[in-house]
């Protein structure tokens, strides 16, 4: 048995959850926040059999695309605030961070 933990961009989460549930996978969805851009993410927990790992990874890959976004740089926490001039920066957002973990025991009560 495996536990897949997938951290995905909020924009991708709805379509990903829809496809996972249509494929008969049970998904637990939690709201989370990314550390770099402080943007909304969704963390999904998916319990699966060992043989289903490749299928779940393919579904995640097909629904979580990386894209470019323009953001304004935030002022540094330290230093004089009047000397900072914000400027736009292009960053990659989206995609997925996925952890696949072995599960020793699974109990549903």
Query: In this predicted structure, what is the pLDDT of residue 59?
Result: 97
Cβ(65)–Cβ(92) below 8 Å:
no
**Residue 107 within any structural domain of the chain:** no
Q: Report the chain (109 residues): mean pLDDT per 10 consecutive residues.
A: 94 94 96 71 95 97 82 64 67 84 91
Give the total number of structural domains in the chain: 1
**Residue 108 within any structural domain of the chain:** no
**Residue 45 within any structural domain of the chain:** yes
Closest to 97 in 3D by CA, of 18, 12, 24, 1: 12
Query: In this predicted structure, what is the pLDDT of residue 89?
Result: 72
Query: In this predicted structure, what is the pLDDT of residue 44?
Result: 97
Query: In this predicted structure, what is the pLDDT of residue 46?
Result: 97
**Residue 109 within any structural domain of the chain:** no
pTM given for the model: 0.76
Which domain does 62 fall in, by range?
Answer: 2-75+83-102
CATH number of the structural domain spanning residue 65: 3.30.70.120
């Amino acid at each position: 048995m495996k536990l897949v933990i997938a951290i995905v961009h909020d924009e991708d989460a709805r379509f990903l959850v829809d496809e996972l549930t249509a494929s008969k996978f049970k998904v637990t969805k939690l709201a989370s926040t990314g550390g770099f851009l402080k943007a909304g993410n969704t963390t999904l927990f998916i319990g699966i059999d060992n043989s289903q790992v490749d299928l779940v990874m393919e579904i995640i890959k097909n629904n979580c695309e990386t894209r470019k976004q323009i953001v304004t740089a935030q002022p540094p926490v330290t230093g004089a605030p009047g000397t900072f001039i914000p400027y736009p920066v292009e960053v990659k957002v989206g995609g997925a961070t996925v952890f696949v973990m072995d599960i020793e025991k699974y109990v549903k009560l």
